[in-house]
Amino acid sequence: MIRSSIFAATVALGVGIGGVANAADLLDEIQERGELVCGTLNYIAGVGFLDDKGEWSGFDVDFCKAAGAAILGDPKKVRFVATTGAQKFPALQSGEIDILSRSVTETISRDTTLGFSFIGPNHMTGQGFMVHKDTGVTDVKQLDGASVCVLAGTTTERYLADWFKANGMSFQPVAAENSDQMYSMYFDKRCDAVTMEPPYLAIRRARAATPDDHVILETLIAKSFEAPVIREGSPKFFKVLQWMHYGMITAEELGITQANVDEIAKSSKNPVVQRFLGVEGTIGSDMGVPNDWMVKVIKAVGNYGEFYNNTLGKNSNLQVPRGMNALWRDGGAMVAPGWQ
Amino acid sequence: MKPVSAYQDVPGRVRLARFLTRRDFQSQGLFIILAILLIWGSIHVASSNLAESSGKTGFAFLWQKASFELGESLIPYSAGDTYFKAFVVGVLNTLKVAALGIVLSTFIGLIIALGQLSKSVVITRLCRGYVEVVRNIPLLLQLLFWHTFLLRGLPTVRQALSPVDGIYLTNRGLYLVSPVPESSFGIVMAALLVGIILASGLWYWHRKTNAGFRLWPLGLTLTFLPAIIATYVAGAPITWDVPQLTGFNFTGGMTISPEFTAMLLGLSIYTGAFNAEIIRAGILGVSKGQVEAGLSLGLHPGQVMRKIVLPQALRIIIPPISNSYLNLTKESSLGVAIGYPEIVRVANITLAETSQSLECISIIMLIYLILSLITSLILNVMNARSSREER
């Protein structure tokens, strides 16, 4: 009896220690598994949306499709997991998902203390306000004493408190668990203003019963640079995703699109293009992915311009202007280092 | 002669050996060892995985500054206070809704239980219907319903309903006048205390001497006279803070938020249905003979209910109703769904800010455990008391 309990103890101990993950690069693990697990959101059309046919779409979803194309050669080899605001970081930390592509705002504290690596940022915006027109508010500074609807557990909640405090103003927070609830409270006039990134405000205003009754204030109270996130400790995985993001920007610079990528790969004599599309050199295989990985990415979601316009921009229902997300040479902030 | 005991004569060494070979000892010992190993193993795995995935563990974050507002609070709180204080605010808000919910749900339960036992068919059916409908709809939906109902059904701030000056009903809450203590508040209260002591003295003297005068006119005068004089001398002890529409919102006075109201309504109405069944069972559990005896003594039915049935029913009611109270306290965590700043909301936002999920979740679990243990302790004492009265 005693001997058997010692045996059981050893087993329990072994199981306990075996549970600790060993540190292989996630890139190899994903390729072995043949599937990329992507945490995203399922209820904002244009950003992350699961439709009634079971199809995922949107900006954050397409990033994962591109990653699937880069790493596994097929944008369909991605399994999407809907994550909630409060559970998104634990899901990533626990290894339930490989990438969190869910409009996460990159901040120094998140980057340096959570054990995460941010890619990009791939969507640059800021935090703004939408107010009821009948309040007569035209500037953020007039919001002293207002009730503000805010999404619980997001950076917007923190920036809101920080900004009002810094400006010696007061406000009454009205927290919502999800964005549907937040906007419905705003439209019911539970609050005078709602705070969120302007593109998302615009999406909701467009859907309002009377869009003209709402004003999106011009001033942004904080930068909000959104970026996909992975766990720290997989340098190969990180490099592939980071350069995939740069690659999509580079493709737009080079005029390579979803439609002409095959043609250009076959016919281009430009050494930069040849290197970029993997016709020449071993950039891809040195990173641990096929040499033609950027061809796959561009065929899956297009260059950065197409990627943005098809989901949020002018080819979508949302019509969000590119603003800061235009290429650097067009006056935006999207840049990529050289592909040498 | 010494009584012979086989057990006593056996030397300790042999007794220990016998004890160790007993089946029950071995199996229970094994179980305890396994349990300890399992717990130790999980803690080990969790802590090493945490150490690997994120740099920060431990509860030091509680003393850092929290940069979020919580809306409503029983103690002054604003962004920039510590996370610890935010948690205190959350606990107080949970306690506020749970305590009021327990009182209100008991009251609703009693009314509905008596209604179900009434002679009128209409009232019986109505109360039965209430129980069946409310019990069978998930609480979360009811909370969302009440919240939406209050937001949509009540007027906006600018069109506030105001039956009396100083009371404004809007979809941002009920604004009421609130008392504000002035500088003379302490003096007047002290005078009132003096009055109460004087009146008690009078009462004592009256009882001792059996003086032949009516007690209460003089007693009341003695109680309040010092306070009235103090008010004249030092000024009014309180002034009223009247809410006023300034800019976007009413300021001043006190506010009862729609989130709190929805929580209180939802929890009380839902738990009230369960309490009604518990109380009904308790009343029916008192034997019919007791009622008949009471009636034959000439008590009227109300008196029979108050003096005979309910005190005895209490013995049956208290154990199951304490479960119901525990449930109400725990279910107040659903407040997070409608943005009521109770403990789970504070933990969620802290979790999002610090990402110390294990710590935040264990804080919530610990707090609910403590709250539940306190509630059951109180009810156990009450139960012991009501049982002791049994004859």
Domain count of the fold of chain B: 2
Please check whether residues B324 and B376 belong to one and the same domain.
yes
Asked if B348's CB is within 8 angstroms of A153's CB, the reply is yes
Confidence of residue A72 (pLDDT cuts 50, 70, 90): very high
**Does residue B277 sit in the same domain as residue B383?**
yes
B171 in contact with A, Cβ within 8 Å: yes
pLDDT of residue B6: 55
Examine the domain organization and report whether B263 and B379 are in the same domain: yes
The answer to whether residues B234 and B275 belong to one domain is no
pLDDT at res. B237? 78
Average pLDDT over residues A108-118: 88
User: What's the pLDDT at A96?
Assistant: 93
Domain check: are B233 and B287 in the same one? Answer: no
Inter-chain CB proximity A86 and B79 less than 8 Å: no
State the Cα–Cα distance between residues B321 and B304, nearest whole angstrom: 22
Question: Is A11 near chain B, with CB under 8 Å?
Answer: no
Q: What is the pLDDT of residue B57?
A: 72
Per residue, what are the HEC states of chain A? CHHHHHHHHHHHHHHHHHCCCCCCCHHHHHHHHCCEEEEECCEECCCEEECCCCCEECHHHHHHHHHHHHHHCCCCCEEEEECCCCCHHHHHHCCCCCEECCCCECCHHHHHHCCEEECCCCEEEEEEEEEEHHHCCCCHHHHCCEEEEEECCCHHHHHHHHHHHHCCCCEEEEEECCHHHHHHHHHCCCCCEEEECHHHHHHHHHHCCCHHHEEECCCCCEEEEECCEEECCCHHHHHHHHHHHHHHHHHHHHCCCCCCHHHHHHHCCCHHHHHHCCCCCCHHHHHCCCCCHHHHHHHHHCCHHHHHHHHCCCCCCCCCCCHHHCEHHHCCCECCCCCC
Q: Which residues of A are less than 8 Å from B338 in CB distance? A: 177, 181
Whether B205 and B143 map to the same domain: the answer is no
Ranking A37-46, A249-258, B379-388 by mean pLDDT, the lowest is: B379-388
B233 plus B353 within the same structural domain? no
Which residue does chain A place closest to B26, by CA atoms? A1
Residue A251 has pLDDT above 90, yes or no: yes
Would you call A74 an interface residue with chain B, using a CB distance cutoff of 8 Å?
A: no
Residue B44 lies in a domain: no
Please indicate, yes or no, whether residues B225 and B262 belong to a single structural domain of this protein: no
Q: Are residues B281 and B366 in the same domain?
A: yes
DSSP states along B31-99: HHHHHHHHHHHHHHHHHHHHHHH-S--SSGGGGSBP----S--SS---BTBBHHHHHHHHHHHHHHHHH
Residue B335 lies in a domain: yes
CB contacts < 8 A (A, B): 153
Is the per-residue pLDDT at A222 higher than 70?
yes
pLDDT number for residue B388: 58
Put simply, the answer to whether A144 touches B247 (Cβ < 8 Å) is: yes
Residue B15 lies in a domain: no
Share of chain A above pLDDT 90, in %: 61
Q: Is A21 on the interface with B (CB under 8 A)?
A: yes
B256: closest CA of chain A, how far (Å) = 13
pLDDT in the model for residue A1: 38
Subunit contact A113:B339, Cβ cutoff 8 A:
no
Domain that holds residue B301: 81-153+258-387
Selecting from A20, A114, A154 the residue whose C-beta is nearest the C-beta of B54 gives A114
Contact A152 B339 (CB under 8 A): yes
CA dist A290 to A246, A294, B299, Å? 17, 9, 94
Give the residue-averaged pLDDT of A62-80.
Answer: 95
What pLDDT, on a 0 to 100 scale, did the predictor assign at position A290?
A: 93
Q: Which residues of chain B have pLDDT under 50?
A: 1, 391
Do residues B360 and B327 share a domain?
Answer: yes
pLDDT at B248: 84
- Domain limit, last residue, from B190, B210, B238: B238
A150, closest residue in chain B (CA to CA): B339
CATH of the domain at B125: 1.10.3720.10
Domain extents for chain A? 125-224
Q: Do A93 and B349 touch (CB under 8 A)?
A: no
Domain closes at, from B210, B238, B266 = B238
Tell me, yes or no, whether B381 and B234 share the same domain.
Answer: no
Looking at the fold, whether B190 and B299 belong to one and the same domain comes out as no
Query: Nearest-CA distance from A64 to chain B in Å?
Result: 22
Restricting to B residues 235-264, those with a Cβ less than 8 Å away from any Cβ of A are 246-249, 251, 258
**Whole-model pTM over 0.80:** no
Contacts made by residues A283-288, CB under 8 angstroms, sequence distance 24+: A283/A339, A287/A236, A287/A239, A287/A240, A287/A243, A288/A25, A288/A27, A288/A28, A288/A31, A288/A236, A288/A240
Structure confidence at residue B211 (pLDDT): 67
pLDDT at A4: 43
**A125-224 belongs to which CATH class?**
alpha beta
Test B355 with A233 for CB contact under 8 angstroms.
no
Q: A56: pLDDT confidence band, cut at 50, 70 and 90?
A: very high
